[in-house]
Amino acid sequence: MIIIINFASVRNEMINRFFLLNPIILGLGMILFSASTTQALPQQDSAFRESRDDFLPRSGTMFLEEKKTSPLPKLPKPDRHFQLRQSRDGFLNPASRRQGSVSQVTSVSELQDISPTDWAYEALRSLVERYGCIVGYPDRTFRGNRALSRYEFAAGLNACMNTIERLIQENVAVLREDIEKLKRLAQEFEQELIALGARLSNLEERVAYLEDHQFSTTTKLTGEFVVGLTGITSGQRDGGSEEINKVTNFGYRGRLELNTTFDGNDLLYTRLATGTVPAYSDITGTFEGELGFSQPDGSDLAVELIIYEFDLAENIRMFVEPVGGAFDDFVPTVNFLDGDGAFGAISAFGSRNPIYYMGEGPGIGFQGRLFEVFEWSGGYLATDGNDPSLGAGMFNGPYGLIGQFAYEPSDRLKVAFTYVHGYNNLDSGTGTLRSNFQTFVEEEFEQSVNTVNNSYGMEFTWRIFDRFVLGGWGGFTSTRTLGAIDIGEEFDVIQRGKLDIWNWAVTLAFPDAFKEGDTGAIIVGMEPWVSKADINFPDDLRKTDQDSSFHIEAIYQYPINDNIVITPGIIVITEPDFDDRNEALVIGTIRTTFTF
């Protein structure tokens, strides 16, 4: 008998007392924290803020269903801090939605871990079917073998007392012997019931205070600050003719996020951002090794991103972005280490396949799921969509169009195929200067060039073991220029031509490497480079990136607590800008991320 086992210290006295009770009362001893609000015993020091997700979300964690004591509508969980972009994957999974809203248990046969051969089966059936004060856990289990404290027993007793009181008020017949036995139990657990009532009163007062002092009834404010000590320890540029400055700098990237819902299923996300972390490409002469949390704004605060997302139809989510849109806002990047610079990889290249960077600005996006295991997403962004000038706007200026189809047979494996089409959206901000061809032409010839490109990518992530995740991607971009480039009377006009651009990477992640919540990772790949070109540059200027340059990155992410994470990391670029005359570029950083 579980009551006797759990209260072994007083079993001699309790045996005599409880053997006289009806099996209905004995069944109360199996009560755990159920979905009933009166059964869930509040913690003395319970906090009223939501903690942010772990960097690597755990599977199999079960939370008890709680009654909402606040009139606040439930906000969709925002993932704009992008501790892992993977956390958005599968948000349209109907199975996960059903798990979060389990209907009331009305029969003991609905509890998966209870069988008619269990000694307390009949007592539990009476409690469930006669009084309905036992409902089990949200996963329809009862867990009757778990140890029981006196406070937990008091919580279950209080639930049944309230149920019987309600039945009496409704003139429903209740057995007198059950009432008498509940009275005896109430006397035995009088002190625990008093303490329980005091805790509930204290909880109500604290909730009322928060409601009176809340920021908004529909909006939640969150924040993220990335502070980085970064520096270049070695490197050369321009064919080894110039040493790169050995610099160390201390900067930050700050984001304030407003998450607003109007019906509980939609989300209006507004992000204000600023920072002082520099872009190193001006110093290194290449976009290789660029930091993922770079924000050279000089501390000028501005609205960086506005997204309104909602369910357009069953299993279809729509995203409307009037300001600062990006492809990865609505297209999962399928990289386990994509933390948008704040978590995971420290470089822009290590965060995701560079073809995801080939689109920005106002636009729309969609995401949906088919047959549980297939996910599709896509959208359209216009770089100058809010500019009414000639050659700009939503359809007359630079734009990017993306489509992606992914296969996800389990939460451990995901493979995606991505297509991007763009006009004047070639530059990704990663890789060699030539692969960012529009910037290359502007710097070399002080001219502009129009381009159109088609990009193809394949990405995958595979959690082979609990503490080892293998991932990677490959990308190819075919680009052609749309006009000749006049570089002066001394040189021939550069005629229209084509370029082929490639990139690839392999990622190795080790979650919980030394302690729970930490992550070690290694990233090896080649940032975008021009492998083939038929453009007639002047004779002293190479058309392609002829040598081999590797991106090697290593990080170790260590959580201090739920809100502070420190990540030391190093980036090594061999033969920077795909020029073997350049000495290797080495960039180090100690990144600290604060979230609230």
Token pair for 126: 């009476």
Model pLDDT, residue 105 = 54
Beta bridge partners of 418: 404, 457
Q: Can you tell me the distance from the alpha carbon of 570 to that of 333, in angstroms, rounded to the nearest whole number?
A: 23
Domain residue extents for the chain: 108-196, 218-595
Alpha-carbon 400 to chain mean position: 24
β 302-313/267-275 pair status: antiparallel
Q: What is the largest CA-CA distance in the chain?
A: 109
Token pair for 56: 């690597």
Least confident of 118-122, 169-173, 255-259, 405-409: 118-122
Residue 6 has pLDDT above 50, yes or no: no
Token pair for 197: 């009532």
Q: Can you tell me the distance from the alpha carbon of 275 to that of 225, in angstroms, rounded to the nearest whole number?
A: 9
Residue 354 has pLDDT above 80, yes or no: yes
Model pLDDT, residue 490 = 76
pLDDT band for position 87 (cuts 50, 70, 90): very low
pLDDT (average), residues 61-67: 35
288-315 residue pLDDT tens = 999 999 999 999 999 999 999 999 998 9
C-alpha closest to that of 591 among 562, 570, 560, 568? 568
Helix, strand, coil abundance in the chain, percent, nearest 5: 25, 35, 45
C-alpha closest to that of 114 among 82, 137, 84, 89? 137
Secondary structure (DSSP) of 236-297:
EETTTTEEPP--EEEEEEEEEEEEE-SSSS-EEEEEEEEE-PPPTHHHHSSSTT-BTT---S
Residue 18 has pLDDT above 90, yes or no: no
pLDDT band for position 194 (cuts 50, 70, 90): confident
72-85 residue pLDDT tens = 334 334 443 333 33
Residue 151 vs residue 383, higher pLDDT? 383
Residue 154 has pLDDT above 90, yes or no: no
**φ/ψ of residue 269, rounded to 5:** -110, 125
How many C-beta neighbours within 10 Å does residue 55 have?
A: 22
Least confident of 375-379, 473-477, 493-497: 493-497
Model pLDDT, residue 145 = 65
pLDDT (average), residues 164-187: 74
pLDDT (average), residues 323-340: 96
Model pLDDT, residue 286 = 95
pLDDT (average), residues 182-198: 72
Token pair for 48: 């009223």
Q: Can you tell me the distance from the alpha carbon of 10 to that of 2, in angstroms, rounded to the nearest whole number?
A: 13
Mean pLDDT (the chain) is 80
C-alpha closest to that of 335 among 343, 398, 372? 343
Model pLDDT, residue 337 = 97
pLDDT (average), residues 547-564: 96
Residues 6 or more apart whose CB falls under 8 angstroms from that of 398 comprise: 361, 382, 383, 384, 422, 423, 424, 425
Model pLDDT, residue 96 = 35
Model pLDDT, residue 168 = 78
Answer yes or no: are the C-beta atoms of 553 and 308 closer than 8 Å. no
Residue 460 has pLDDT above 90, yes or no: yes
Rounded to the nearest 10 degrees, what angle do helices 190-213 and 176-188 cross at?
80
C-alpha closest to that of 577 among 292, 244, 354? 244
514-527 residue pLDDT tens = 999 999 999 999 99
Q: What secondary structure letter does DSSP report for 30?
A: G
Residue 22 exposure: Cα atoms within 13 Å on the Cβ side: 18
Token pair for 192: 């625990």
Residue 45 vs residue 506, higher pLDDT? 506
358-415 residue pLDDT tens = 999 999 999 999 998 999 999 999 999 999 998 899 999 999 999 999 999 999 999 9
Model pLDDT, residue 580 = 93
Token pair for 375: 């996910």
β 468-481/451-465 pair status: antiparallel
Model pLDDT, residue 163 = 78
Model pLDDT, residue 128 = 64
Residue 69 has pLDDT above 70, yes or no: no
Model pLDDT, residue 452 = 97
Where does 403-465 have alpha helices with state H? 437-445
Model pLDDT, residue 197 = 73
Q: Is 107 helix (H, G, I), strand (E, B) or coil?
A: coil
95-143 residue pLDDT tens = 333 333 344 555 656 666 666 766 556 666 666 666 666 656 666 676 6
Q: Can you tell me the distance from the alpha carbon of 39 to that of 417, in angstroms, rounded to the nearest whole number?
A: 48
Least confident of 205-219, 322-336, 444-458, 511-525: 205-219
Model pLDDT, residue 301 = 94
Alpha-carbon 420 to chain mean position: 23
Answer yes or no: are the C-beta atoms of 418 and 459 closer than 8 Å. yes
How many C-beta neighbours within 10 Å does residue 156 have?
A: 25
208-232 residue pLDDT tens = 777 776 667 788 999 999 999 999 9
Q: Tell me which range, 204-218, 266-280, 484-498, is most confidently predicted by mean pLDDT.
A: 266-280
Where does 422-562 have alpha helices with state H? 437-445
What is the helix (H) or strand (E) element at residue 567, kind and residue range?
Answer: strand 564-573
pLDDT band for position 457 (cuts 50, 70, 90): very high
Residues 6 or more apart whose CB falls under 8 angstroms from that of 314 comprise: none
Residue 488 exposure: Cα atoms within 13 Å on the Cβ side: 7
Q: Tell me which range, 41-45, 49-53, 100-104, 136-140, is most confidently predicted by mean pLDDT.
A: 136-140
Residue 440 vs residue 80, higher pLDDT? 440
Model pLDDT, residue 177 = 73
pLDDT (average), residues 133-161: 66
State pTM to two decimals.
0.69
CATH architecture entry for 218-595: Beta Barrel (2.40)
C-alpha closest to that of 131 among 243, 231, 36? 36
Where does 405-508 have alpha helices with state H? 437-445
Least confident of 185-189, 242-246, 301-305: 185-189
